[in-house]
């Protein structure tokens, strides 16, 4: 149970039942999600009244897939949770967090990543009709 | 019977292209769909093809109004990857530039809002005031739009005549207090056009993740300058204006009050401007492999940059920009539901949208 005396980071660790250490680097407080599902993370952030900021997608070299960094703000602390994707699909959190709508749609268009459990309307932030042509490296 | 009215992508009420499909019953808007992408330039992809000098000039073009904010955020993130810390004078100059840009953005917006309300004289007054701010920005940087002020480890140009800025700040404060704020706050026309129009409740503002003046007009006291200070903001005293009504009038009041707060910050920064260098010495610095993130409070709200670098590379591996309008614009859908069709141009303008930022 979170209490008012806890720091924002302690409150997150408590609600996620994790003893993983926070790593402060590059202006972000990072917490490795381990086995945590992104939807459980979104539920926990809602409970803490954290403000969703964005998701940043990175394509990893070779066939390593993608890294998806989810960011929330909690009392001015910038929180980061990196999720590794072996394939091109991750669960959508749109039904839990309305604010992710456009960024999920943008990543879907820019990287061709599927956020399962939601429908998309095009944002038109892409060239042509093909998904993943703008920011995803071409496989030769 | 409901019918659909398309507004945009090219429309007299829009400064830039985007499209709002309004589903109406009679004169009342029942729902709206937003379409963006008409200004898509692929800037994030282009950034991967530019070196660490060129990428600053590129990201300055994300937005025509808050161009300085984008280079500031990018440089702060890149400083995180190089370990460079700008000298104190540079941090003060960054603060001064950021507040001048906020003034220029908010006064421009006040003029456009006045025009949409039917106050054409006020529109001219605001643009005259904005011109004075732009004169100062030009005197400092040599440019009226893209100032090229920020670099990794500091700023490119010094402020040599703080008195000229102070004079402009005094004139602006006087005109805002004498003309603009009284008309916006007491005029019955402004009240009838703005009060109770385009309401975004505090609850909806949280759920949509809106930022900046739109969030503060819905009762959320969030401001990165206060919550996570950067540049010299930790040494400035200022208030974060908050309104509770969440309507167009509240957004108008928040921005008007923020103009006065910006003047307050400028006075302090100019008075305390420390002597010394404006950037770190030495031209060579290594980039650390990894990712760095930076946030600043732009005129329209929080901007966030995530920058990633690979070992030995001159180019960033990835630059992701989360602009404030990208976070705020989806909330227009909720603001226009139940509104009169004739109010929708003012409602969409009340978020001070930047479509170029949104599309990138």
Could you read off the pLDDT of B174-198 as tens digits, one per residue? 888 888 788 877 888 888 888 888 9
- Name chain A contacts of B290, Cβ cutoff 8 Å: 25-26
How is residue B25 annotated by DSSP?
E
Burial class (CB in 10 A: 0-12, 13-18, 19+), B203: exposed
∠ CA B118-B63-B96, nearest 5°, is: 90
Q: Which domains does chain A have, with CATH numbers?
A: 8-116 (3.30.460.80)
B258: containing domain: 2-359
| CB pairs A-B closer than 8 Å | 97
pTM: 0.89
Instruction: List the beta bridge partners of residue A51.
Output: A73
pLDDT of A123 strictly over 80: no
Distances (CA, A) of B110 to B46, B105, B121: 34, 9, 12
What is residue A3's predicted lDDT score, i.e. its pLDDT?
A: 62
Burial of B11 (0-12, 13-18, 19+ CB in 10 A): middle
Question: A25-52: per-residue pLDDT in tens?
Answer: 878 899 888 888 899 999 999 999 899 9
Task: Please work out, in degrees rounded to the nearest 5, the angle formed at the alpha carbon of residue B176 by the alpha carbons of B254 and B238.
Answer: 50
Q: Which residues of B touch A51 (CB under 8 A)?
A: 206, 209, 222
Q: Name the token pair of B16.
A: 């830039």
Does pLDDT of B88 surpass 50? yes
Q: B128 CB contacts (<8 Å, ≥6 apart)? A: none
Token pair of B271 as six digits: 């008075």
Chain B, residues 27-66, CB within 8 A of chain A, namely 33, 35-38, 40, 42, 44-45
Closest CA to B358 of A45, A129, A75, A106: A106
List, for residues A67-108, the tens digit of each pLDDT value: 999 999 998 899 999 999 888 889 999 999 999 999 998 888
Phi then psi for B298, rounded to 5 degrees? -75, 170
**Contact between chains at B291 and A69 (C-beta distance less than 8 A):** yes
The domain spanning residue B105 has which CATH number? 1.10.645.10
Question: Please, are residues B320 and B44 in contact by the beta-carbon 8 Å criterion?
Answer: yes
CA distance B351 to chain A (A): 16
Distance CA B290, CA B306 (A): 10
Residue matched to tokens 């990857």: B81
On whether any CB of chain B is under 8 Å from the CB of A123, the answer is yes
Q: Does B209 touch chain A (CB under 8 A)?
A: yes
- B59-76 pLDDT, tens per residue? 999 988 889 999 999 999
Q: What is the pLDDT of residue B281?
A: 80
Chain A contacts of B301, Cβ < 8 Å? none
Mark yes or no for CB contact B292/A53 under 8 Å: no
Q: A94 by DSSP, 3-state: which?
A: coil
* pLDDT mean over B14-43: 86
Residue B148 CA to residue B159 CA, distance in Å, equals: 14
- List the structure tokens of B284: 């060579």
Token code pair at residue A75: 């009392």
Instruction: Please state, as a whole number, how many other Cβ atoms lie within 10 Å of the Cβ of residue B229.
Output: 16
- Cβ contacts of A123 on chain B, cutoff 8 Å: 36-37
Model confidence at B283, pLDDT cuts 50, 70, 90, reads low
The pLDDT of B31-54, averaged and rounded, is 87
Report the pLDDT value the prediction gives residue B92, as an integer from 0 to 100. 96
What residues have CB less than 8 Å from A49, skipping those under 6 apart? B206
Pick the closest to residue B99 from B261, B302, B271 (CA basis): B261
Chain A partners within 8 Å of B35 (Cβ): 124
Backbone phi, psi, residue B218, to 5°: -105, 20
Nearest to A102 among B33, B77, B330 (CB): B330
Residues of A whose CB is below 8 A from B227: 73, 75-76
| B292 shares contact with chain A (CB less than 8 Å) | yes
Handedness of CA A46, A49, A52, A58 (dihedral sign): negative
> Is A46 in CB contact (< 8 Å) with chain B?
no
pLDDT tens, B305-341?
999 888 778 889 899 999 999 999 999 999 999 999 8
**Strand A66-74 versus strand B316-322 pairing type:** unpaired
Pairing of strands B290-298, B28-35: unpaired
- What distance in Å separates the CA atoms of residue B131 and residue B113, rounded to the nearest whole number? 17
**In this complex, which of A27, A56, A125 lies closest to B40 when CB atoms are compared?**
A125
- Please give the share of chain B, as a percent, with pLDDT higher than 90: 44
Cα(A54)–Cα(A131) distance, integer angstroms: 20
| Domain tally, chain B | 1
């Amino acid at each position: 149970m979170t209490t008012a005396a806890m720091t924002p980071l302690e409150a997150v660790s408590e609600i996620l039942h994790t003893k993983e250490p926070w790593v402060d680097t590059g202006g972000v407080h990072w917490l490795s999600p381990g086995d945590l599902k992104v939807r459980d993370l979104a539920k926990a952030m809602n409970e803490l009244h954290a403000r969703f900021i964005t998701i940043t997608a990175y394509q990893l070299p070779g066939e390593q897939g993608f890294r998806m960094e989810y960011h929330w703000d909690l009392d001015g602390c910038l929180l980061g949770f990196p999720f590794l994707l072996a394939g091109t699909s991750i669960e959508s959190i749109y039904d839990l967090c309305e604010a992710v709508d456009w960024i999920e749609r943008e990543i879907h268009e820019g990287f061709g990543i599927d956020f399962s459990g939601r429908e998309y309307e095009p944002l038109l932030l892409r060239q042509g009709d093909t998904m993943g042509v703008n920011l995803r490296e071409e496989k030769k | 019977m409901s019918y659909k009215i398309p507004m945009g992508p090219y429309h007299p009420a829009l400064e830039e292209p985007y499209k709002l499909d309004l589903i109406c019953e009679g004169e009342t808007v029942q729902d709206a769909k937003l379409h963006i992408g008409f200004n898509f330039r692929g800037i994030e992809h282009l950034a991967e093809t530019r070196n660490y000098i060129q990428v600053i000039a590129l990201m300055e073009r994300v937005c025509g109004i808050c161009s300085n904010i984008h280079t500031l955020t990018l440089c702060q993130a890149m400083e995180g990857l190089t370990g460079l810390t700008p000298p104190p004078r540079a941090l003060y100059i960054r603060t001064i530039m950021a507040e001048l840009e906020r003034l220029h953005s908010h006064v421009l917006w006040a003029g456009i809002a006045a025009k949409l309300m039917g106050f054409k004289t006020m529109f001219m007054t605001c643009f005259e005031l904005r011109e004075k701010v732009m004169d100062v920005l030009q005197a400092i940087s040599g440019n009226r739009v893209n100032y090229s002020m920020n670099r990794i480890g500091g700023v490119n140009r010094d402020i040599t005549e703080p008195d000229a800025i102070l004079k402009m700040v005094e004139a602006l404060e006087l005109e805002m207090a004498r003309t603009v704020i009284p008309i916006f706050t007491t005029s019955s026309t402004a009240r009838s056009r703005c009060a109770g129009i385009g309401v975004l409740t505090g609850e909806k503002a949280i759920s949509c993740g809106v930022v900046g003046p739109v969030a503060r007009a819905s009762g959320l006291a969030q401001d990165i300058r206060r919550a996570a200070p950067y540049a010299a903001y930790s040494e400035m005293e200022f208030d974060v204006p908050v309104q509770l009504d969440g309507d167009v009038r509240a957004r108008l009041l928040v921005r008007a009050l923020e103009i006065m707060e910006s003047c307050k910050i400028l006075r302090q920064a100019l008075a305390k401007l420390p002597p010394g260098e404006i950037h770190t010495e030495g031209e060579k610095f290594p980039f650390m492999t990894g990712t760095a993130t930076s946030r600043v409070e732009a005129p329209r709200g929080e901007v966030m940059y995530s920058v990633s670098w690979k070992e030995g590379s001159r180019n960033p591996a990835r630059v992701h920009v989360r602009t404030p309008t990208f976070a705020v614009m989806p909330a227009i859908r909720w603001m226009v539901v139940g509104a009169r069709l004739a109010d929708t141009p003012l409602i969409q303008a009340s978020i001070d949208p930047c479509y170029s930022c949104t599309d990138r």
